[in-house]
Amino acid sequence: DADVTQTPRNRITKTGKRIMLECSQTKGHDRMYWYRQDPGLGLRLIYYSFDVKDINKGEISDGYSVSRQAQAKFSLSLESAIPNQTALYFCATSTSGTFGTQYFGPGTRLLVL
């Protein structure tokens, strides 16, 4: 969905390196999310943000941090990457309504060597 963009689309890094994944959206949504997807495990929530000043941990936040620079931008950082963080990472957005559907970006494929 071109309304939600992620950069980079692919990244290879080494253990111990710091990396940042970026997400931008033009949907005007207040809420943004970061997920990781692993084979056989489905999508798991890392962090979510209801607005610029509201950031919350998801079920697997250890080893990750986030920054909500603006309503439209939400970045995910791996301070010291490790091999088991190799995964597909997705950003998503939604409205603040009770039944707001989440819309996903195209994903970032990360390989940690």
Q: Which of 4, 23, 66, 87 binds another protein (CB under 8 A)?
A: 4
Task: Quote the longest CA-to-CA distance of the chain.
Answer: 41
DSSP secondary structure string, 64-90? -EEEEEETTEEEEEESS--GGG-EEEE
Q: Which of 90, 93, 110, 112 binds another protein (CB under 8 A)?
A: 90
User: Would you say 63 and 44 are in contact if contact means Cβ atoms under 8 Å apart?
Assistant: no
Q: Which of 31, 46, 78, 110 binds another protein (CB under 8 A)?
A: 31
Q: Nearest approach, Cβ of 80 to another protein (angstroms)?
A: 27
Of 85 and 105, which CB lies nearer to another protein in the complex structure? 105
- Bridge-based pairing of strands 87-94 and 65-70 is unpaired
Supply 4's token pair. Answer: 């939600």
Q: Residues in the site for another protein, rule: CB under 8 A?
A: 1, 4, 31, 40-43, 45, 48, 50, 56, 90, 94, 97-107
